[in-house]
Amino acid sequence: MADLLFDICSAEDHDVTGRVAALTWSIWQNRNAVVWCNPQLTPIQVGYNAFRVWQSWVDAQQIRSRVQQGAVRNIMRWMQPQAGWIKCNVDAGFFETREITTTACCTRNNNGEFICAQTQQHDTRLSTIEGEGMALLEAIQLAIHKGWNCVVF
């Protein structure tokens, strides 16, 4: 098997080797799921997961290429709020295979000093916009609960 994979990787083009790697990874993940008593996927589901893995990898490579070429210059830095204000950064995380969405926020004062943070786990798969929206809603609720009036999200 190792020789076959090596031959494919050395003889085929970039797209074919990427697809083979994604399929191999998906088969391995399914095998581990069976060993650890998780539900076994059908061959069609394994193939679909392999395609999603491969497509995500292709998308990441395209973004990486644009960054290296200087087309994307999106360097994010924390910006302090005005004096007396609180800065609240929010984010969401997505774990599709477990159908879990997580949300988090971190608050700092205008000197950059940590005030508090909060995390939540939701046992459901939300879209990116729903997850980010949920993170913002929970951060707003935290600010209301704390009695903060001057907050930048």
pLDDT tens readout for residues 96-146: 888 899 999 999 999 999 999 999 999 998 888 999 999 999 999 999 999
* One domain for residues 91 and 122: yes
* One domain for residues 6 and 52: yes
* One domain for residues 90 and 60: no
pLDDT recorded at residue 21: 83
pLDDT in tens, 35-82: 777 778 888 988 888 888 888 878 877 776 666 565 545 566 778 888
Residue at a domain's end among 16, 41, 68:
68
Kindly state the tokens that stand for 47: 């193939």
Q: Please name the residues in contact with 92: beta carbons below 8 A apart, sequence gap of 6 or more.
A: 101, 102, 103, 104, 126, 128, 131, 132, 134, 135
What's the gap between Cα 107 and its chain centre?
21
Q: Mean pLDDT over all residues of the chain? A: 85
* One domain for residues 62 and 90: no
Number of domains the chain contains: 2
Convert 105-118 to b/e letters by CB count within 10 Å (16 or more is b): bbbbeeeeeeeeeb
| Domain of 13, in residue numbers | 2-68
Q: Which amino acid makes up residue 6?
A: F
pTM: 0.51
